[in-house]
Structures are given as structure tokens and as C-alpha cells.
Amino acid sequence: MSTKKKKVWMNKQRKATATAIRIDPNIVLTVKDLVKTYTVGNTTITALNKVNLTIRKGEFIAIVGPSGSGKTTLINCLGALDFPDSGNIIYNVDAKGMGLDIMKMTNKQHKKMRLRKIGLIFQFYNLFPILTAYENVELPMVIDKKDLKVREDRVKSLLKRIGLDERMEHLPTQMSGGEQQRVTIARALVNEPLIILADEPTGELDTETTTNIMKIFLDLKNSGESILMVTHNIRIAEIADRIITLTDGEFTGEKKGGKSIDDIYE
């Protein structure tokens, strides 16, 4: 977005206040006609072209597509890290059917969404290298000014859940890629988000480590978490409930998944 366009957008955002709408309490996220374009020189690139998507509570959705198909743009827009041109992104913010559109939120509301309602996982882990595993997981709660005792209980239980409770004092440089990605999963879960958004979570990992990370994703799904994962790895996508194909910014196909982790490499 150009600086001018951005300013207009920001001003519009400042004036706007999202009004709550009633939605189906079993739906976590509804995306309607989402459009995102980029202008590079004189060329306008349509990264997302009228994307529609509904994610139900506890659903695990995989979006597959080659690089440049718009996968990361989609994650960034849904994660309030980037700003779409038009459309709606409605989150069930209280998990009871109170729908709020992030397109109509103020900057402050966006910040709250990122810290409390959305758990983001990135390809390159994005851990802060000078902080230990414990501190990296704790980070969103520190920024959110949560009580020390609350933080301690939550961080410890999450590190235990992902099997790194023995390594909480270790720095990212002392961990393998798979271990670092597990730390980011714990960090994404720390504020009990409505949904996990994962951008190529296994892009940097070997097959065995990929399988282990996907086992954690399945475990999260089975305990009721809602997950949206984008990947170019069509094999691992098969374990999701639904697999949606993204081509040149448009959804071009959908199929059922639900394969077991042992079946995907056959």
C-alpha cells in the first residue's frame, strides 16, 4: 500500500469502531470477499482476490499453494499484521457469538487481537535470540502486563505440554529448529487465543521433525483448538480436516483431509 493510501486507511481506521454483530457461536472466523492488492511501480498485483472462508470451532484447515499464491498475505491479513483493501474478517471474539470485524477496528483493538485472540506461528520461528525458551514463551504475557504468578503457571504448563520443560533455560542458539518451532507454538498458545494461524510452520524442518510438529498440531486440534495452516507441503496438509487450494490469490479447490500422520507418506 502506498504511504498516501495507507494514511487514508489509517484515518478511516481511527474513526471507525467495530460494532458487534451476532454470529453463529460455533464459528471462529468468517472471511468475506477479502481483497488485497500491492502496487509496485506502475503495476498493481492482486495478492488476494475475493477470498471467502469460514472456520468452525475446533477445525483444522490447511491452505496449500505455490509460493506467490497469496498464502502469507492471507495469514498476515487474518493476523492483523497487514491491511486488506476490502472485505470482512469477522472473529468470534468472546467465543460465544459476539462477532467483531477487524477491518473496522481501531489500532488499539488490533493490538489486543494480536496479543490475546490470535496465536501466530512463523516459518523462521522469530524467537528473540537473547531470551531463554521460558522468556520467549512468556513474552506476549509480559507485554500484556499479566500477573507474574499467572505467567509462571501458564508458561510452565505449556512448556511441559510441548515436551520442553527440561529446557526452559536454554537459548534458541542451543536448540534445534524443531525445538525452536515448539517454543513458538507454546508462545502462540500462551494467551489462550481463539485461533492458531501458522505460516509454513515446517518450511525449515526435515521430514522427521515435520512429523513431530504435525503431531503437536493434531494434538492441539484434538483438544479443541482451531487451526489455520498455510503450506506448500501438500503431504502434511492431508492431516487437516479440509484442504483448500490457493492459486493466484483465489481459492480454486477444496477437499476433505483427515488422514492419519502415518498414512501421509505412503
Partner 1 sequence: MRISKKRKEQDIAYHEVKDYELDPGAMIETFDLTKIYNITEGIEIRALNGVTIDIKTGEFVSVMGPSGSGKTTLLNMIGALDNPTDGAVYINRTNIAHMDDKQRTNLRLKEIGFIFQFYNLVPVLTAFENVELPMIFAGRTKQVIEKNVNKFLDLVGLSDKKDHLPSELSGGEQQRVAIARALSNEPSILIADEPTGELDTKMGTEIVNLLRELNLELNQTILMVTHDPQVGNLAERMLKMRDGKIIETVITNK
d(CA 218, CA 207): 16
In angstroms, what is the minimal distance from the CB of 123 to partner 1? 11
Cβ proximity to partner 1, 111 vs 259, nearer residue: 111
In angstroms, what is the minimal distance from the CB of 114 to partner 1? 4
Contact footprint for partner 1 (CB under 8 A): 76, 79, 81-82, 107, 111, 114-115, 120, 122, 124, 126-132, 135, 139-140, 142-143, 169, 171, 173-174
Helix (H, G, I), strand (E, B) or coil at 79: coil
Please name which of 64, 68, 52 lies closest in space to residue 245, comparing C-alpha atoms. Answer: 64
Compute CA 175 distance to the chain's CA centroid, rounded to the nearest angstrom.
23
Cβ proximity to partner 1, 18 vs 115, nearer residue: 115
d(CA 31, CA 57): 14
CB 198 within 8 A of CB 187: no
Cβ proximity to partner 1, 181 vs 245, nearer residue: 181
Cβ proximity to partner 1, 128 vs 265, nearer residue: 128
Cβ proximity to partner 1, 126 vs 222, nearer residue: 126
In angstroms, what is the minimal distance from the CB of 216 to partner 1? 20
In angstroms, what is the minimal distance from the CB of 22 to partner 1? 28
CB 216 within 8 A of CB 202: no
Cβ proximity to partner 1, 169 vs 263, nearer residue: 169
Q: Report CA-CA distances (Å) from 168 to 164, 180, 215.
A: 6, 11, 21
CB 54 within 8 A of CB 251: no
Compute CA 196 distance to the chain's CA centroid, rounded to the nearest angstrom.
4
Cβ proximity to partner 1, 111 vs 235, nearer residue: 111
Q: Residue 66 is which amino acid?
A: P
In angstroms, what is the minimal distance from the CB of 6 to partner 1? 8
CB 190 within 8 A of CB 157: no
Strands (E), 76-203: 86-92, 98-101, 118-121, 195-199
Q: Environment class of residue 112 by beta-carbon count within 10 Å: exposed (0-12), middle (13-18) or buried (19+)?
A: middle
In angstroms, what is the minimal distance from the CB of 211 to partner 1? 21
In angstroms, what is the minimal distance from the CB of 25 to partner 1? 26
